[in-house]
Structures are given as C-alpha cells and as structure tokens.
Amino acid sequence: MNTENMTLVGNLAGYNFFIGKDENGKEWYNIHPEAQGVNFPIAGYASKEQIAAIKKVPWPDRFVLPDMYQAWTKDQFVEIEKAIVKHLRYQWRTYEDGRGRHRVKFKGWDHITEIIGLAYTSSSSYAGYWITNVTLRHPQYPDYRYIGFSISHDNKYYAILWDSKENELIIQL
C-alpha cells in the first residue's frame, strides 16, 4: 500500500495520516512520516465505522505515537509479562519456525517464552521484549508478525508488529 492511492486527512508532529483502499477495496489507514524517502508507516485495516470516526475527530487528538521507556524497572517487567500473557493466552495463534507452520493456544508465560523466545534489550530508542525463535502472526492483521512488546511512559503496554517490508504497526495490548 503506498500513499499515492490514499487521501491525506491530517498531520501531527511530522506524521501524515492517510486513509485509502487496498486492491480488494478494503479500507486502510496509514500513518507515515512527512519526510520523503522514509518508509516506516504504522498501518492497518479499519472498518467503515472506524474510518468515519477517524474523519470526525479533530486533529491533533486523533493519534499520538507512544513514547516508550528506554529501560524497565523490576515492577515493569512483572506487569508487561502479565499483559503479554493476557494478550496471547487461550486464543489460537499461528507461528512459523524452521520445521513449518504451527497453531497453538498459549497457556502462560513459560509456555509463551518456550515457543516464541523473548529477549529483553534496551536502547536509545526504547526497551522491549523481542521475539527470537519464531514468526508469530497477528490473527487480526495476518500480513503482520509480532516482533516485540514495549511499555510507554504512561504505562500502557504495546505489541510491535512488522509486515514483510518492515512497515510497523503498534497496537495497545
């Protein structure tokens, strides 16, 4: 999906917000940096109701990129682990590894980390638990795979997903 086939509906802090349709006519939103040549949009499908709501909300209240912590405290580790378990547990998930494609219902933290592997790193950008063992697809956004999880400064928990071109989708858990 490129922004040439989309309608610009607003701008916030250097990010352009587009709405358009894919080749099948399904509505799509895309939040993209204003600078030319930079390609790391946040994108996803939206219902007609969601698109209508997006168009009605005045800027700049529509969208704010989360401001993530660069390092976590012990308590934050405990809380994000609970949020990841709550997000992934008891729902069928599809993952791929070197042996093929598998479906699983995660049962808890140990089961999740055994299969997907989570490595914590912190950086000047932000800290996160990063998936190391598998490609884990999001059921609602099947073209996107989870790459990690992080915490914002307002203590909300997020999953970070990428498509095959590393376009980023950040969803709140």
Q: What pLDDT is recorded for position 15?
A: 58
Q: What pLDDT is recorded for position 168?
A: 77
Q: What pLDDT is recorded for position 33?
A: 56
Q: What pLDDT is recorded for position 125?
A: 81
Q: What is the pLDDT along the chain (173 residues), one digit of tens a residue?
A: 444 556 655 555 455 666 676 677 776 666 655 544 444 445 566 666 666 665 665 443 334 457 889 999 999 999 999 999 999 988 888 899 999 999 999 999 999 999 999 999 987 788 999 999 999 988 877 888 999 999 998 899 999 888 887 777 788 88
The pTM of this model reads 0.64
Ranges of each domain in the chain: 3-56, 74-172
C-alpha 147/C-alpha 131 separation (Å) is 5
Tokens in use for 60? 């700049």
